[in-house]
Structure 1
Amino acid sequence: MPGDNQRQLHLNLFLMGVGHHEAAWRHPRTDPAQAADIGHFQRLAQAAEAAAFDSVFLADGVEARTDGGWGLVSHFEPFTLLAALAAVTERIGLIGTVSTGFTEPYNLARQFASLDHLSHGRAGWNIVTSAGERSAQNFNRTANQRHEVRYQRADEFLQVVTALWDSWEDGALLLDRADGTYADQQKVHEIGHVGEHFQVRGPLNIPRSPQGYPLLVQAGSSQDGKGFAARWAEAVFTAQQTLAEGQAFYADLKRRTAEAGRDPRGIKVLPGVVPVLGSTEAEARALDQELTELITPERSVAVLSSVLGVDLTDHPLDQPLPPLPPLAEINGAKSRFELIRDLAERDRLTLRQLVGRLGGGRGHQVVVGTPEQLADHIETWFTQGAADGFNIMPPLLPAVLTDFVDQVVPLLRKRGLFREGYEGTTLRDHYGLPRR
Structure 2
Amino acid sequence: MTDTDRTLILNVNLQGFGQRPAAWRTQDVDGTELTTPGFWAELGRIAERGRLDAVFFADRPAAGNTNLRPLGLVEPFLALEAIAEATEHLGLVGSASTTYNDPYDLAERLLSLDVITGGRLAWNAVTTYATEVSRNFGVESNPDRPTRYRRAREFAHVVRSLWESAASGEAVRHDGEFFQLEGRLDVPPSAQGHPGVFQAGGSPDGRALAGATADAVFSVELLLDVAIENYRAVKEEARRQGRHPDDVKIIPGLSFVLGSTEEEARRRYDDLEALAPDGLTLDTLAEYLGPEIKHVDPDAPVPDSILDREVDPVTFPRSLSYQQGIVRWVRRHNTSLRDVLRGFGGYGARIIVGTPEQVADSIEEWFRAGAADGFNLMADEFPRGLATFVDEVVPILQERGLFRREYAETTLRQRLRDHGHRWSDAPRP
**In the TM superposition, what is the alpha-carbon distance from 1:99 to its structure 2 partner?**
0.7
Who is 2:145 aligned against?
147
Unaligned ranges ≥5, structure 1: 170-186
Where has structure 1 moved over 6 Å in runs of 4 or more?
none
1:417 to 364, 379, 402: 402
Who is 1:394 aligned against?
379
Q: Secondary structure at the match of 2:312?
A: helix
Q: Secondary structure at the match of 2:171?
A: coil
Write the mapping of 1:301-312 to structure 2, written as runs, cut at 5 A.
Answer: 301-305=282-286, 307-308=287-288, 310-311=290-291
CA distance in 2: counterparts of 1:54 and 1:394, whole angstroms: 15
**In the TM superposition, what is the alpha-carbon distance from 1:371 to its structure 2 partner?**
1.1
Name the stretch that deviates more: 411-420 or 318-327: 318-327
- Matched AA of 2:381: L
With over 3 angstroms needed to count, the CA separation of the structure-2 counterparts of 1:349 and 1:327, relative to structure 1, is farther
- Equivalent pairs, count: 411
Who is 2:16 aligned against?
17
Name the stretch that deviates more: 32-41 or 269-278: 32-41
CA distance in 2: counterparts of 1:390 and 1:317, whole angstroms: 35
CA distance in 2: counterparts of 1:118 and 1:25, whole angstroms: 32
Matched, 1:265 2:246: yes
**In the TM superposition, what is the alpha-carbon distance from 1:103 to its structure 2 partner?**
0.4
Contact 1:189/1:203 (CA < 8 Å) preserved in 2?
Answer: yes
1:218 to 192, 196, 199: 199
**In the TM superposition, what is the alpha-carbon distance from 1:327 to its structure 2 partner?**
2.8
With over 3 angstroms needed to count, the CA separation of the structure-2 counterparts of 1:368 and 1:103, relative to structure 1, is same
Normalized per residue, the structure richer in helix is: 2
**In the TM superposition, what is the alpha-carbon distance from 1:131 to its structure 2 partner?**
1.6
Contact 1:97/1:126 (CA < 8 Å) preserved in 2?
Answer: yes
2:210 to 225, 229, 235: 229
Contact 1:240/1:271 (CA < 8 Å) preserved in 2?
Answer: yes
Contact 1:301/1:312 (CA < 8 Å) preserved in 2?
Answer: no
Task: State TM-score, norm by structure 1.
Answer: 0.88
Matched, 1:328 2:312: yes
CA distance in 2: counterparts of 1:153 and 1:379, whole angstroms: 37
CA deviations 1:400-432 (Å, max 9, x no partner) are 111111111111111111111111211112212
Q: Secondary structure at the match of 1:20?
A: coil
1:128 to 105, 126, 129: 126
Who is 1:295 aligned against?
276
- Matched AA of 2:371: A
Unaligned ranges ≥5, structure 2: 420-429
CA distance in 2: counterparts of 1:323 and 1:144, whole angstroms: 26
2:327 to 336, 341, 345: 341
With over 3 angstroms needed to count, the CA separation of the structure-2 counterparts of 1:350 and 1:63, relative to structure 1, is farther
CA deviations 1:347-406 (Å, max 9, x no partner) are 2265555444334x2211111111111111111111111111111110111111111111
Contact 1:69/1:302 (CA < 8 Å) preserved in 2?
Answer: no
Contact 2:222/2:326 (CA < 8 Å) preserved in 1?
Answer: no
Q: Secondary structure at the match of 2:172?
A: coil
CA distance in 2: counterparts of 1:141 and 1:127, whole angstroms: 20
CA deviations 1:44-102 (Å, max 9, x no partner) are 111111221111111111122459555x7552101111112111111111000011011
**In the TM superposition, what is the alpha-carbon distance from 1:128 to its structure 2 partner?**
0.6
Contact 1:68/1:299 (CA < 8 Å) preserved in 2?
Answer: no
Who is 1:108 aligned against?
106
Name the stretch that deviates more: 154-163 or 128-137: 128-137
**In the TM superposition, what is the alpha-carbon distance from 1:300 to its structure 2 partner?**
4.0
Bigger CA radius of gyration? 1
- RMSD between aligned residues: 2.3
**In the TM superposition, what is the alpha-carbon distance from 1:143 to its structure 2 partner?**
0.9
Contact 2:119/2:194 (CA < 8 Å) preserved in 1?
Answer: no
CA distance in 2: counterparts of 1:22 and 1:349, whole angstroms: 25
- Matched AA of 2:379: P
Name the stretch that deviates more: 28-37 or 330-339: 28-37
Q: Secondary structure at the match of 1:148?
A: helix
Task: State TM-score, norm by structure 2.
Answer: 0.89
Write the mapping of 1:21-420 to structure 2, written as runs, cut at 5 A.
Answer: 21-28=20-27, 32-65=31-64, 69=68, 73-169=71-167, 187-305=168-286, 307-308=287-288, 310-311=290-291, 315-316=295-296, 318=298, 320=302, 323=306, 325-329=309-313, 330-348=316-334, 353-359=339-345, 361-420=346-405
Contact 1:67/1:299 (CA < 8 Å) preserved in 2?
Answer: no
CA deviations 1:249-268 (Å, max 9, x no partner) are 11111121112211111111
**In the TM superposition, what is the alpha-carbon distance from 1:310 to its structure 2 partner?**
3.4
Who is 1:181 aligned against?
none
Q: Secondary structure at the match of 1:273?
A: strand
Contact 1:17/1:34 (CA < 8 Å) preserved in 2?
Answer: no
